[in-house]
């Protein structure tokens, strides 16, 4: 039987999510890859246990996570039942819907039909009565925002989710979604965009909107698919994503220009006593504009490294200026 560490809350930082009463750990664990049906269940179980022992209370899923789709939620439900039912009230569990999940006109995007059905399926896979956060995973150009946000409001009123959020929405899309949800009486808790040193689009308006509206931010892919680590500094390893048929990372992402920047950033990280991945997380969390950095992991040590970044000294003005100089190239 698993028993959580008694000191699990001692070293993690918990940030208030927007203007809500909810606090999220500075590091959250995403179950997009390495937790699906093609992966070793006991490895995923070990990572989730270690994450919770280190103060990570937020576990982020979606209906289509795997592979195959749905299997990450199924595996998480198995682990939850074996290890975490006594700790359910200490966990923030999130899921999403918006991408393709089943055939026909009701299996993706943002209709009320799809969102309600998808969450019902997710709850069954995980063995839960409710999720803490339910997101619309991407804007739907074919469905009015009023219908999509109305579905999120309905889901909260049905008791199937405590909070709702949005993901991959641009600044003006986010502003409109937030406005509608506020009118309905179910405030938007959080937005989940991709954000890293190498992908900074949220700085062009979206961050300002979220701060003005009192909405939290959880940044996914803060390590830019693993590029912002030391994994590719000496070339492409045979067992890496870039060496295989991955749709998420290719050799084209690893240009000499990009790798040159990462090598310089790695030198700065070493001078701070950090790994490259830890510097990338420290940078995303700088200044308090991001509530939580959402990491992926394939082994326990990566989770340990990520959590250690929370305890690092804040980046100085001089270090931030050096990083900007490196990124400008």
The residue-averaged pLDDT of 107-111 equals 98
pLDDT above 90 (res 244): no
pLDDT for the residue 236: 67
Query: Counting every residue, how long is the chain?
Result: 329
Which tens digit of pLDDT belongs to each residue from 169-197?
999 999 999 999 999 999 999 999 999 99
Helix (H, G, I), strand (E, B) or coil at 159: coil
Cis peptide before 67 (omega within 30 of 0): yes
Please, are residues 36 and 75 in contact by the beta-carbon 8 Å criterion?
yes
pLDDT for the residue 109: 98
Both structure tokens of 263: 């090598």
pLDDT above 80 (res 67): yes
Which tens digit of pLDDT belongs to each residue from 11-64?
999 999 999 999 999 999 999 999 999 999 999 999 999 999 999 999 999 999
Taking all residues of the chain, what is their mean pLDDT, rounded to a whole number? 95
Q: How far apart are CA 269 and CA 260, in angstroms?
A: 14
Q: How far apart are CA 163 and CA 96, in angstroms?
A: 12
Q: Identify which has the larger pLDDT, 142 or 242.
A: 142
pTM (2 d.p.): 0.95
Q: How far apart are CA 152 and CA 181, in angstroms?
A: 8
pLDDT above 70 (res 241): no
pLDDT above 60 (res 247): no
Burial of 159 (0-12, 13-18, 19+ CB in 10 A): exposed
Return the ∠ at Cα 93 (arms to 116 and 214), rounded to 5°.
85
Handedness of CA 294, 295, 300, 301 (dihedral sign): negative
Both structure tokens of 88: 């359910």
Q: How confident is the model at residue 240 (pLDDT cuts 50, 70, 90)?
A: low
pLDDT for the residue 35: 95
pLDDT for the residue 18: 98
Q: Looking at residue 194, what DSSP letter applies?
A: B
pLDDT for the residue 2: 96
Pairing of strands 58-60, 92-97: parallel
Cis peptide before 181 (omega within 30 of 0): no
Q: How far apart are CA 8 and CA 210, in angstroms?
A: 30
Which tens digit of pLDDT belongs to each residue from 264-303?
999 999 999 999 999 999 999 999 999 999 999 999 999 9
Share of the chain above pLDDT 90, in %: 92
Which tens digit of pLDDT belongs to each residue from 72-85?
999 999 999 999 99
| Lowest-confidence region among 33-47, 150-164, 186-200, 230-244 | 230-244
Q: How is the chain split into domains, by residue range?
A: 14-225+278-310
Burial of 38 (0-12, 13-18, 19+ CB in 10 A): exposed
Q: How far apart are CA 209 and CA 326, in angstroms?
A: 28
Please, are residues 68 and 33 in contact by the beta-carbon 8 Å criterion?
no
Burial of 289 (0-12, 13-18, 19+ CB in 10 A): middle
Q: Alpha helices of 25-170 — where are they, by DSSP H? A: 41-53, 71-79, 112-126, 145-157
Q: How far apart are CA 139 and CA 120, in angstroms?
A: 20
Q: How far apart are CA 86 and CA 57, in angstroms?
A: 13
Both structure tokens of 29: 């664990």
- Looking at the chain, the number of H-run helices and the number of E-run strands are 10, 10
pLDDT for the residue 253: 81
Q: How confident is the model at residue 235 (pLDDT cuts 50, 70, 90)?
A: low
- SS3 of 151-207: the string is HHHHHHHCCCEEEEEEECCCHHHHHHHHHHHHHHCCCEEEEECECECCECHHHCCHH
Q: Looking at residue 55, what DSSP letter applies?
A: T
Does the domain formed by 14-225+278-310 have CATH 3.40.50.2000? no
Handedness of CA 236, 241, 245, 248 (dihedral sign): negative
């Amino acid at each position: 039987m698993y028993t959580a560490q008694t000191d699990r809350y001692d070293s993690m930082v918990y940030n208030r999510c927007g203007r809500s009463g909810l606090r999220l750990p500075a590091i959250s664990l995403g179950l997009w890859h390495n937790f699906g049906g093609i992966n070793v269940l006991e490895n995923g179980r070990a990572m989730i246990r270690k994450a919770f022992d280190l103060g990570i209370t937020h576990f982020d899923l979606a209906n289509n996570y795997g592979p195959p789709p749905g299997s990450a939620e199924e595996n998480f439900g198995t682990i939850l039942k074996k290890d975490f039912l006594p700790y359910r009230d200490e966990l923030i569990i999130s899921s999403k819907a918006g991408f393709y999940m089943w055939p026909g006109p009701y299996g993706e995007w943002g209709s009320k039909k799809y969102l309600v059905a998808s969450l019902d399926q997710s709850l069954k896979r995980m063995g839960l009565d409710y999720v803490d956060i339910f997101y619309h995973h991407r804007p739907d150009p074919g469905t009015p925002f009023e219908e999509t946000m109305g579905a999120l409001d309905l889901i909260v009123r049905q008791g199937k989710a405590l909070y709702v959020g949005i993901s991959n929405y641009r600044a003006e899309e986010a502003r409109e979604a937030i406005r509608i949800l506020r009118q309905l009486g179910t405030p938007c808790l959080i937005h989940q965009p991709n954000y890293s040193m190498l992908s900074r689009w949220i700085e062009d308006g979206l961050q300002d909107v979220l701060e003005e509206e009192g909405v939290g931010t959880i940044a996914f892919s803060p390590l830019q698919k693993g590029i912002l680590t030391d994994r590719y500094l000496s070339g492409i390893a045979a067992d890496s994503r870039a060496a295989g048929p991955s749709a998420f990372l290719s050799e084209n992402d690893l240009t000499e220009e990009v790798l040159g920047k990462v090598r310089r950033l790695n030198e700065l990280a070493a001078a701070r006593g950090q790994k490259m991945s830890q510097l990338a997380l420290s940078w995303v969390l700088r200044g308090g504009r991001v509530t939580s950095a959402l990491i992926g992991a394939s082994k326990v040590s990566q989770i340990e490294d990520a959590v250690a970044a929370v305890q690092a000294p804040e980046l100085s003005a001089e270090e931030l200026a050096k990083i900007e100089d490196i990124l400008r190239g």
